[in-house]
Amino acid sequence: MQKQQGFTLIELVVVIIILGILAVTAAPKFMNLQGDAYQSTLTGLKASLQGANTLVYSKAAIAGKEKSATETIDIAGTADADDDVSIAYGYLQADQESLTAALQIDADWTIVAGADAVAADADGTGGSDATAAVLYQTSSPNDADAATAVECHLEYTPATSATPLPTYTLKTDGC
């Protein structure tokens, strides 16, 4: 009996073909992990903003400021003005200072408000107006330009007298 010392050429070719087929079918599932991560991050930010708004509204109601169009409220209970936020009808205003203070987010996030938020929602699928804010990660597929935020962002529109609750819109088409 002769002992076989290795693989035949046919066996190697069959294994390579099988690995190629597996790679072609499995690769697309792992290609968009970065986009999924950005979508999850935005979903988490939306939940954080909703939670912060709940707490801010509670503080505004205790202080009797939940029915005013424009007020300021201290969210940390200190004399430091850095933790004061602007509110409208008890909920956070859509300005950079208030959102940064309430969410405690850092330089990885870009917040544009007012006319820039309208420009960032240039696709017209959201209800952007001059009171809205658009939040997106600076390191996301968007660059630091507000006009490109339309692809992957969270849009926050604060409460008004006509709409007593703020709205949160996730745009994840371009993530």
CA-derived radius of gyration, the chain: 25
pLDDT at 140 over 50: yes
Q: Is residue 131 situated within a structural domain?
A: yes
pLDDT at 160: 87
- What pLDDT score was predicted for residue 44? 93
- Tens of pLDDT, residue by residue over 71-105, are 888 887 776 766 789 999 999 998 888 888 888 88
Closest CA to 135 of 164, 169, 101: 169
Q: Is 5 inside a domain boundary?
A: no
> What's residue 163's pLDDT?
84
Residue 14 lies inside a defined structural domain of this protein: no
- Report pTM: 0.71
22 within some domain:
no
- Domain count for the chain, please give it: 1
Q: Could you tell me the pLDDT band of residue 174, with boundaries at 50, 70 and 90? A: confident
Residue 17 in domain:
no
Residue 175 has pLDDT above 70, yes or no: yes
Q: Which domain holds residue 105?
A: 32-171
For residue 2, being part of any structural domain is answered with: no
What is the CB neighbour count within 10 angstroms for residue 32? 12
Flag whether 19 is in a domain: no
Domain-located, residue 4: no
